[in-house]
Amino acid sequence: MTITEAQSAVDEWISKYGIRYFNELTNTAILMEEVGEVARIMARKYGEQSFKNSDKDIDLAGEMADVLFVLICLANQTCIDLQSAFVKNMEKKAIRDANRHKENEKINGFE
């Protein structure tokens, strides 16, 4: 599935099951909530925090998919073609960071 197809699939889902999009501010708050859930899992799985009993059935992939869903909702609401925006962003990064990371002593073990 392309990003464009994902945007269409979310729009169809909203029409069929969601009745309408929540407003942009509500979806922004929901996005922050979903990102927070990803952060909570990351802190426990890869960081130094321990899991709570209520965290036993965590699903990192599912939480990341929730972030993507809400981000797509916001893109649809604000008429942003995420596929095009992503391609442009990758091109920008390729030019801007052509040597930046290769020359970064902090990540190349020269500290």
Residues 12, 33, 92, 105: is their CA dihedral positive or negative?
negative
Q: What is the value of pTM for the model shown?
A: 0.87
What's the domain range around 110?
84-111
Same domain, 67 and 22: yes
CB 72 within 8 A of CB 10: yes
Which pLDDT tens digit goes with each residue over 60-108?
999 999 999 999 999 999 999 999 999 999 999 999 988 888 888 888 7
Q: What was the pLDDT predicted at 110?
A: 57
Which pLDDT tens digit goes with each residue over 10-67?
999 999 999 999 999 999 999 999 999 999 999 999 999 998 888 778 899 999 999 9
Number of H helices, E strands in the chain: 4, 0
Can you tell me the distance from the alpha carbon of 4 to that of 7, in angstroms, rounded to the nearest whole number?
Answer: 5
Q: Which residue has the tokens 């965290």?
A: 55
- For the chain, the domain total comes to 2
Same domain, 70 and 88: no
Mean of all residue pLDDT scores within the chain: 93
DSSP string, 78-96: TT--HHHHHHHHHHHHHHH
* Among 58, 60, 53, CA closest to 38: 60
Same domain, 9 and 46: yes
Same domain, 42 and 93: no
